[in-house]
Structure 1
Amino acid sequence: MSSLIALPSRTDAFSAYQPSKNAHTDFISAVDLGRGAGGSSKEGVKKIRLSVPIRATPTPTNELLQSLLNAIPSLLSGKPTERSYHTLSHTCHQLVLQPHTLGPTIYGRIYGRIKDELEESANGLVREWRGSIMSRQEGWLARFVNGWKVWEKRVNLLSAIFVYLDRVYSNPSTGIASIKDLSILTFRKLIWENEIIAEKTRSDLLAWASSERASEKVLDEQRPTIVSITDLSKLLDTFTESIAKPYIELTTEHYSSTAETHVSEVENDTMQPGKFVEWVLAKVIEERERAESTLSKDVADQVVKVVRKSAGEDLAPRVIRRALDEAMDLQNTEYLSKLYTFSTDVNSFGVLSQALEDHLEARLKTLLSDPANDPKMIDATLKMKRFTDGAISSLFSSAAENPAQKQTDQEEDKTAAKEISEKKRLRRNRQFELEESSRVGFKKGLGSRQNAPAEWIAKHLDLAMRRGPSLSDSGFNAHLDEIIALIGFTKDKDVFKAFYSTQLAKRLLLGRSASDDMERNMIAKLQKEMGEEFTSGDIMMKDLTLSETLVKSYQSAQAKEPETYKDAGNFTANVLTESAWPAYPLLKDGWNFTLPPNLQSSVDLFTSWYSTQHKNRQLSWRFQLSTVTLTSRVGKDKYEIGVSLFQAVVLLLFNEEDTLDFKSIQSRTGIETQELIRTLQSLALGRKGTRVLLKKPPGKEVNPTDIFAWNKGFTSERIKFKINGIQQDMSAEESRKTNEQIHIDRVSVLEATIVRIMKGKKKLSLQSLIDNVVSDVVKRFPPDVKEIKKRVESLIEREFLMRDEEERGVLHYLA
């Protein structure tokens, strides 16, 4: 039977085998597995003889110790040792683990020798490196790092060979430092803290930072060296003092001077404020990346604080307002977004908020200060408000939030959730603060000029209500809301009310409103925002509805009695409640107005019929609001022309005469001179396709010597058209009269308020009365204290009030 495993006749596979002291030779025989250890060998089984060398006599301990001591200088100098590293390590193992009484001697001599050799090696490096520094050789940091790496490699080898020694003797109880710790302490004390080496290392590292900042580029070839220097300083536990602190000081100095230079350029208009903001934001990112990649995250955080403080917070008052002006004037939302980020990063959000308020106030003051800007005042203000509102909204929109933040909301623990909630609360507060600054800015700006903004808001609203929605109802409603917001910013709400009421009446009476439903919607909006003072609009709408019913009744009467009303014509009238509508004056000074017989008969018949329906009411006609539809034949063409009553009266004269001079027209119609001039201008000098009269001599002005003739060659592309009057929607005279009436109304309101307060209090000091009056009427208009005092004096003269005989500053109410 052949063997299962073929073995060689001789082998040193068992050379590590240690036999007992009495055994010199071991014999291994194959045993018959079936018969057990005591059985005889079977035929065919091979016998193997192993020769084991006799164990040598152990080397004395002192010799082993000396061999280790002799190897230390070679290991630290990088020279070959007499014995292999394995043998040295095994020797160290033997010395540490074999039982003897030389323990203190062993670790004392070895550690002492290692310490001496480490110091010798370090001193050698110091001599070498100081020489290179003194000779001003380039590449110091790289040479220093390479020297450290060689030192570290050799120390690591030494530490690995003497690892058993460190494990046994180096521990806190013995107070003995490990070889690695000893090498670090030695390198720090003799090399790193050497004055010349430390200064050179620090200066070259800071020079690298300055070089990157100056070139605004990443010096890739130098950064690995800087990282190694940083790692070494952290290993030596000197990072903060030797690297971080000087680096931060350099950063502070750099940005204090550089930022001041740039701000001076901004103030001298040689650098755009927005570019400065971008520069600071870019430098924050740049400095964070540089510090994080080469130093540490903590240093990066400190450096970012330095940049934001030196280049941001300290200079924010000199930059933010200019940057905001630039962004708002250019309507650049990107600039505003960067400015917002800048202000929050540099802890100057309050400066931004105040700057927004001041900017809006200043821009509106400039706009309102020049009366030439009045026609475009409201359009420009609304444009500014739309951009401001949109910009603020975009700063805090959900899309602007960090997408990773939403995931954090779900994944972080309760502490993180609290922080996120606090950040959201802070964002909401900031948004509210900017919105409030916007409101205050618009309010101050529009309040810089009395009456005019409210008047022009009403005119702008009038134009919008005539045009109606251009695109969609929702867009038109949004525009109306914008106008209402502007009304809320004005102090003179009574001015707006007066002009709005006048223009609303014109739109309703002359049929110039785009939609009655939109008018009702606007009235409801004004009542909601401004109070019940705007109920007159409701009354106007109801009056018109009642007038329609009245006209239908009149038409029914005409149908029942055609003979009685044969001269009534197609006549309609709006019968209005005088107290609810603006006070339209009667035609008095300069007027001797006479209606043509056919038109006068229509008026007389309606007046007669109305008196039978309402015996206790009297009609008072306002002809300046009347309109007429005329049918005209020019040659073979027939036209239907919509004109004012005054235009109709003038045109009807040309049924009898082909030509008439200005004075003849005035004497026959009785129209006031200025109104007649405007009427003739509209008929002879209006837009093309509406000039039904000819003027001699030609010219843009109408003079008392001009002659007018019927335009027999008149043609128009439209069969039905309207001839508009040559006047603004509200003439300067009407505006003046409205403002005069507002002043009169304010006097009445002040007197009524004073009497009402004194009637309730009976006795009150003058100052308390003034305070009460101001708080009461300020929602309607800004009261003038001097005017209040005048009203008080007037009421005293009329014996509504009297002064106290003993205290002249106290008033009494006289029942």
Structure 2
Amino acid sequence: MIECHMQRLVHMENSGLISMIVDEKFVDLGRMYSLFLRVPNGLTIIKDVMTSHIRETGKDLVTDPERLKDPVNFVQELLDKRDRLDKIISLAFNNDKTFQNALNSSFEYFINLNPRSPEFISLFVDDKLRNGLKKDKEEDIETLLDKVMMLFRYLQEKDVFEKYYKQHLAKRLLSQKTASDDAERSLIVKLKTECGYQFTSKLEGMFTDIKTSHDTMQGFNATMGAEIADGPALSVQVLTTGSWPTQSSSTCNLPPEILGVCDKFRAYYLGTHTGRRLTWQTNMGTAVLSAKFGNAQKELSVSTYQMCILMLFNNVDCLSYKDIEQATEIPPSDLKRCLQSLACVKGKNVLRKEPMSKDIADDDAFFFNDKFTTKLYRVKIGTVVAQKESEPEKQETRQRVEEDRKPQIEAAIVRIMKSRRVLDHNNIVAEVTKQLQSRFLPNPVVIKKRIESLIEREFLERDKTDRKLYRYLA
């Protein structure tokens, strides 16, 4: 009797399987599960309908342009969706492994339909580790990180996530804006367990650099105490080039007062360590300035770029955009963002702009706003930044990821050929894909190009009779 009515029961319009899943009718779903369990292939029908429903709704979620405008909310919706379905499988479907596997394969399918999923998951983690969870305890962050790791497992391009995560972690560490050091380290342990030591070695190196820098500054202050007592207080973080995200080497002209103490630190550091070079990354720094508005004394917490702009107004009341650009040599895109945050944000407008508008033009004039008032003693002025990457930045990140993949693909080809000695093209592609799929899915066209590159450099050679056969050259 059950077998005769299975299809009709599952597909009924307002009370079938999908309707029960949407309305979370756990008792009815459990009843359907126990009934269909008695019939051969009964559960397969439920599983197939559930899978196609998850895939369709998931595809709608990850391709909806409106949802893509808010990366943090996008990931939260994915987590909520998975929680709801997990609950159904555990309460109604007896935690059945086949249903759990169907859920996992469905999520893997639709999460990878959106090429920005790795970036969005990293932005979500950044938001939670930067701001913490409202009114929640430490263990709740742990639970959330475990859920995020579940989404991370579905990603086919884990190396893209690593690229973004490294950038976001660098900003959190350098600006000391992390809600919990324990949560930061906990996530790195989870990533190491999932992907191995190589995946997290550079991330761990970043934490080591921050600790070493703290010790270096203690030594500098103890040694140079008398010489730097009258100047501005300096705190330097020395970053190892290989561990941190590669930064564009755009520098700006630092004010003379700052330059003096920077030169003293350089002399101290290079005197203590031999064979090292220092490059100032002014685009990553912060500063606290003392400022006077009328009779009111305030402190301004700003970026290094903003400090360079504001200190120009110690000597003059009005500067044009071109004057500021020439004096500081800050890259135009960064300069415009800094000026927007200093002159166009209500409650933070320590500069005045004429003509008044939200955008910065080349012929704008800027004045020190001596009528600026606020109840706060310390005013934090952020920089106007986009939460997501712009299209050119996205292309640049993608390009860097592709470049990083080349040596990994070549290393896998050499490892395989060293052990197999002779192998045909299709088998090499299959083996390389198998070896690297835990980090990313290599493109067969790219694998072919890396094979050709290795042939040119005489690591491999083609068989003289069969061009699809390769030999390893010892």
Quote the offset at 1:320 in angstroms. 8.8
Q: Choose from 315, 327, 335 the match for 1:656.
A: 315
The answer to whether 1:550 aligns with 2:216 is: yes
Question: What percentage of residue pairs aligned between the two structures are identical?
Answer: 30
Cα distance between partner residues in 2 of 1:674 and 1:457: 26
Q: How does 1:356-755 map to 2 (within 5 A)?
A: 356-374=50-68, 375=71, 376-395=73-92, 427=94, 431-450=96-115, 452-470=116-134, 471-532=136-197, 533-559=199-225, 562=226, 564-566=227-229, 568-587=231-250, 593-686=252-345, 688-729=346-387, 731-732=389-390, 733-755=392-414
The answer to whether 1:337 aligns with 2:27 is: yes
Quote the offset at 1:324 in angstroms. 4.1
Cα distance between partner residues in 2 of 1:552 and 1:536: 25
Cα distance between partner residues in 2 of 1:309 and 1:762: 56
Cα distance between partner residues in 2 of 1:792 and 1:322: 56
Amino acid at match of 1:754: I
Quote the offset at 1:768 in angstroms. 1.8
For the residue of structure 1 that corresponds to 2:353, the secondary structure is strand
Cα distance between partner residues in 2 of 1:448 and 1:730: 18
Question: Could you tell me whether the CA contact under 8 Å between 1:551 and 1:572 is conserved in 2?
Answer: yes
Question: Could you tell me whether the CA contact under 8 Å between 1:641 and 1:722 is conserved in 2?
Answer: yes
Cα distance between partner residues in 1 of 2:458 and 2:14: 56
CA deviations 1:585-616 (Å, max 9, x no partner) are: 201xxx7x211101111211100010111022
Change in 2 beyond 3 A, CA 1:573/1:386: same
CA deviations 1:732-790 (Å, max 9, x no partner) are: 25443222111111122112211222233222121221121111011110122222122
Q: Choose from 441, 452, 457 the match for 1:793.
A: 452
Question: Could you tell me whether the CA contact under 8 Å between 2:9 and 2:16 is conserved in 1?
Answer: no
**Unaligned ranges ≥5, structure 2:** none
Cα distance between partner residues in 2 of 1:554 and 1:321: 73
Quote the offset at 1:453 in angstroms. 1.1
Q: Which one has a bigger Cα radius of gyration? A: 1
Change in 2 beyond 3 A, CA 1:321/1:494: farther
For the residue of structure 1 that corresponds to 2:224, the secondary structure is helix
Cα distance between partner residues in 1 of 2:173 and 2:187: 13
For the residue of structure 2 that corresponds to 1:539, the secondary structure is helix
Cα distance between partner residues in 2 of 1:381 and 1:707: 47
For the residue of structure 1 that corresponds to 2:228, the secondary structure is coil
Number of the residue aligned with 2:6: 313
Quote the offset at 1:358 in angstroms. 2.1
Question: Could you tell me whether the CA contact under 8 Å between 1:356 and 1:441 is conserved in 2?
Answer: no
Question: Could you tell me whether the CA contact under 8 Å between 2:195 and 2:438 is conserved in 1?
Answer: no
Quote the offset at 1:315 in angstroms. 2.4
Quote the offset at 1:729 in angstroms. 4.4
Quote the offset at 1:494 in angstroms. 0.8
Amino acid at match of 2:133: P
For the residue of structure 1 that corresponds to 2:411, the secondary structure is helix
Question: Could you tell me whether the CA contact under 8 Å between 1:568 and 1:605 is conserved in 2?
Answer: no
Question: Could you tell me whether the CA contact under 8 Å between 2:30 and 2:91 is conserved in 1?
Answer: no
Change in 2 beyond 3 A, CA 1:617/1:321: farther
Cα distance between partner residues in 2 of 1:360 and 1:804: 48
Change in 2 beyond 3 A, CA 1:323/1:749: farther
Richer in helix (by share): 1
Change in 2 beyond 3 A, CA 1:321/1:463: farther
Quote the offset at 1:318 in angstroms. 3.5
Cα distance between partner residues in 1 of 2:63 and 2:459: 41
Change in 2 beyond 3 A, CA 1:565/1:456: same
Quote the offset at 1:321 in angstroms. 11
Quote the offset at 1:653 in angstroms. 0.9
The answer to whether 1:350 aligns with 2:44 is: yes
Quote the offset at 1:693 in angstroms. 0.8
Quote the offset at 1:566 in angstroms. 4.7
For the residue of structure 2 that corresponds to 1:519, the secondary structure is helix
Question: Could you tell me whether the CA contact under 8 Å between 2:20 and 2:28 is conserved in 1?
Answer: no
Question: Could you tell me whether the CA contact under 8 Å between 1:359 and 1:441 is conserved in 2?
Answer: no
**Unaligned ranges ≥5, structure 1:** 1-305, 397-426
Question: Could you tell me whether the CA contact under 8 Å between 2:29 and 2:92 is conserved in 1?
Answer: no
Change in 2 beyond 3 A, CA 1:388/1:646: same
Change in 2 beyond 3 A, CA 1:730/1:570: farther
Q: How does 1:3-402 map to 2 (within 5 A)?
A: 306=1, 308-310=2-4, 312-316=5-9, 318-319=11-12, 323-328=16-21, 330=22, 332-334=23-25, 336-346=26-36, 347=39, 348-374=42-68, 375=71, 376-395=73-92
Cα distance between partner residues in 2 of 1:322 and 1:623: 62
Cα distance between partner residues in 2 of 1:789 and 1:444: 26
Question: Could you tell me whether the CA contact under 8 Å between 2:10 and 2:16 is conserved in 1?
Answer: no
Cα distance between partner residues in 2 of 1:612 and 1:684: 42
For the residue of structure 2 that corresponds to 1:315, the secondary structure is helix
For the residue of structure 1 that corresponds to 2:242, the secondary structure is helix
Question: Could you tell me whether the CA contact under 8 Å between 1:465 and 1:513 is conserved in 2?
Answer: yes
The answer to whether 1:809 aligns with 2:468 is: yes
Amino acid at match of 1:738: T
Cα distance between partner residues in 1 of 2:132 and 2:312: 37
Quote the offset at 1:656 in angstroms. 1.0
Question: Could you tell me whether the CA contact under 8 Å between 1:804 and 1:810 is conserved in 2?
Answer: yes
For the residue of structure 2 that corresponds to 1:708, the secondary structure is strand
For the residue of structure 1 that corresponds to 2:413, the secondary structure is helix
C-alpha root-mean-square deviation of aligned residues, in Å? 2.0
Question: Could you tell me whether the CA contact under 8 Å between 1:685 and 1:700 is conserved in 2?
Answer: yes
Change in 2 beyond 3 A, CA 1:722/1:736: farther
Question: Could you tell me whether the CA contact under 8 Å between 1:689 and 1:717 is conserved in 2?
Answer: no
Cα distance between partner residues in 2 of 1:525 and 1:630: 40
Cα distance between partner residues in 2 of 1:320 and 1:801: 61
Question: Could you tell me whether the CA contact under 8 Å between 1:630 and 1:642 is conserved in 2?
Answer: yes
Amino acid at match of 2:365: I
Cα distance between partner residues in 2 of 1:684 and 1:314: 65
Give the TM-score taking structure 2 as reference length.
0.93
For the residue of structure 2 that corresponds to 1:580, the secondary structure is coil
Question: Could you tell me whether the CA contact under 8 Å between 1:694 and 1:711 is conserved in 2?
Answer: yes
Change in 2 beyond 3 A, CA 1:760/1:674: same
Change in 2 beyond 3 A, CA 1:791/1:372: farther
Cα distance between partner residues in 2 of 1:319 and 1:780: 42
Cα distance between partner residues in 2 of 1:722 and 1:605: 28
Cα distance between partner residues in 2 of 1:772 and 1:611: 47
Cα distance between partner residues in 2 of 1:647 and 1:323: 61
